[in-house]
Amino acid sequence: MSGINDPISDFLTRVRNACRAYHDEVSIPASGFKTRLAEIMKKEGYIHDFTLVPDRLQGLLVIELRYGEGGTQIIRGIKRESRPGRRLYVGSGELPRVRNGLGTAILSTSRGLMTDRQARREKVGGEYLCSIW
């Protein structure tokens, strides 16, 4: 039921489940926010690529998943941090480090979506959306 009320959780859950099932790609209802999330995941090396496929409704975001040598999973975990029932905000001085810097935290800031590393560089805080490792 949370997918209806929380599109970010729905996005993360679909990607997590597709990775665990070793699918080559996963289709998700598109939005500008989810597209930006996919751009960050691609730039950080968690996914291979993504495409926007128009349809009669809102369009589909097709994400090509990435696997390592011998088919090992690149995305070992995805966790939703801030939820509609419990928002989680962090200041620029308390930005999270996921798995001692081996993972990535994604934040929604006044300057748009960005990783914890970008937020540290730009000295901004925001809503701590999710962790990927």
pLDDT in tens, the chain (133 residues): 555 789 999 999 999 999 999 999 999 999 999 999 999 999 999 999 999 999 888 999 999 999 999 989 999 999 999 999 999 999 999 999 999 999 999 999 999 999 999 999 999 999 999 999 9
> Within this chain, do residues 8 and 36 fall inside the same structural domain, yes or no?
yes
Q: Give domain status of residue 76, yes or no.
A: no
Q: Give domain status of residue 36, yes or no.
A: yes
What is residue 34's predicted lDDT score, i.e. its pLDDT?
96
What is residue 2's predicted lDDT score, i.e. its pLDDT?
55
Q: Give domain status of residue 44, yes or no.
A: yes
> Within this chain, do residues 66 and 112 fall inside the same structural domain, yes or no?
no
Q: Which residues contact 53 (CB under 8 A, 6 or more apart)?
A: 27, 30, 59, 60, 61, 62
What is residue 3's predicted lDDT score, i.e. its pLDDT?
58
> Within this chain, do residues 6 and 53 fall inside the same structural domain, yes or no?
yes
Q: Supply the range of the domain harboring residue 19.
A: 2-71
Q: Give domain status of residue 110, yes or no.
A: yes
> Within this chain, do residues 64 and 109 fall inside the same structural domain, yes or no?
no
What is residue 56's predicted lDDT score, i.e. its pLDDT?
87
pTM (predicted TM-score): 0.90
How crowded is residue 24: how many other Cβ atoms within 10 Å of its Cβ? 11
What is the distance of C-alpha 64 from the center of its chain? 14
Find the CATH number of the domain harbouring 58.
Answer: 3.30.1370.30
What is residue 5's predicted lDDT score, i.e. its pLDDT?
84
> Within this chain, do residues 67 and 105 fall inside the same structural domain, yes or no?
no
